[in-house]
Amino acid sequence: MAYLNETHEPTLESWVASANVPDNGFPVQNLPFGVFRKAGSSEGFRPGVAIGDQALDLAALAQTKPWDGMAGVALAACQSSQLNDLMSLGQAHWSALRLELSRALRAGSPMQQTLAPLLIPQADLEFSLPARIGDYTDFYISLHHATAVGKQFRPDNPLLPNYKWVPIGYHGRASSIGVSGQKFPRPIGQTRPANENSEPGFGPCERLDYELELGIFVGQGNAQGERITVSDAESHVFGLCILNDWSARDLQAWEYQPLGPFLAKNFASTISPWIVTLEALAPFRTAFQRNPNDPQPLAYLSSPDNKEAGVFDITLDVLLSTQQSRSSKTEPALLSSSNFKEAYWTVAQLLAHHTVNGCNLQAGDLLGTGTLSGPNPGQEGSLLELNQGGKKPVTLPWGEERTFLQDNDEVILRARCSKPGYPSISLGECAGTVLPARF
């Protein structure tokens, strides 16, 4: 595959011993980017990359000016509190920096003495949002999720007529996006009245849900009025993270018509701290296939590259812990597992569609995939699907039941790429906790 280069060699090992532990998730083939500082300190947040159970301080490395050319320019862009400057440089610069970092962190590297003092255990870090997110768009690209939810409202016709033609999305709220570990109060709002002669209810949400998603960070943007083609779209993507787009289902049921999601979605969204580049995910590409009985993508959403390898094989897990389970030191319960390869649209198609009308994207903008559910039981990406619209509570291993989330529940999302003969690549963890409403 043309996407592969020396950084993907499966036999590469690092002089950072923990990076060579099987299934550690952060081998030298990964090198995801994030922003951090020592926990509890007053230090400034700065960029770094994960390697094994350590993180390399890129801001400190930049002070040594180890490289010239595009890698040097890219490293110099890693000295602020966010990654936007690096993101805006473009794919050639990201790739050059990745190559030099890979070489410097490999076993036998002459740079070991320089880099070793710049490592910090990840367990000693606190994280910030990896980028300044100017805009946030959430899509709806799981056919299985859309069908399962649609059946609850339209049993005979669950999908709207445009679903298989156009990537559906809405403009979300960037200001309430937080990094893993985010804690937020249960939202409050209006709910559907008991009948048409009653006034709406008002109070804390009673049907709070999670949504298992991936986030797509835009790198180099486009000028207003200029379209990003599907063939060029991936060069504008810095990388992927995990995303939980929390949803207040009872608020949503009352407000979403006629203009779609609003207060049911904008109170909190949580992302994982590490951004895994598309280059790191290259070994896990697979072909884009559309059911021949479905409408095929219009020309602006189709390209040979996208057909051949536009899909990423990423396994996604949802886990839940409660106040009771944590008190008894019980491991979180696995609720479901799905895979990004089941999505109806690809990363490239989302960017191409987002800009086809001339919309300008900027470095650090975030696109959500929408809930990523699979076709089979056990692959649901939300409680709304697991509990069949509130009709079937989920029984947890320690005896509690959940129809929707309760106060002090913690939802943990994980994502990983695995295949025989290659080190597994982790996207890290995205955890968030529901606090009582401030009512």
pLDDT at residue 155 in the model = 83
Is 17 in a helix, a strand, or coil? helix
Q: What pLDDT shows up at residue 235?
A: 98
pLDDT score at 206: 97
Same fold, 6-127 and 136-435: no
What SS3 state is found at 49? Answer: strand
* Catalytic center residues: 145
Give pLDDT, residue 407. Answer: 98
Confidence (pLDDT) at 156: 84
Fold of 6-127: SH3 type barrels. (2.30.30)
| DSSP result, 142-160 | -HHHHHHHHHHH-TT--S-
The per-residue pLDDT for 153 is 76
Q: Starting from the edge strand earliest in sequence, which strands make up the sheet with 119-121, in order? A: 119-121, 54-57, 46-51, 33-38, 125-127
Segments of the chain scoring below 50 in pLDDT: none
CATH (residue range 136-435): 3.90.850.10
In this prediction, residue 196 carries a pLDDT of 86
**Domains of the chain, residue spans:** 6-127, 136-435
pLDDT at 90 (0 to 100): 97
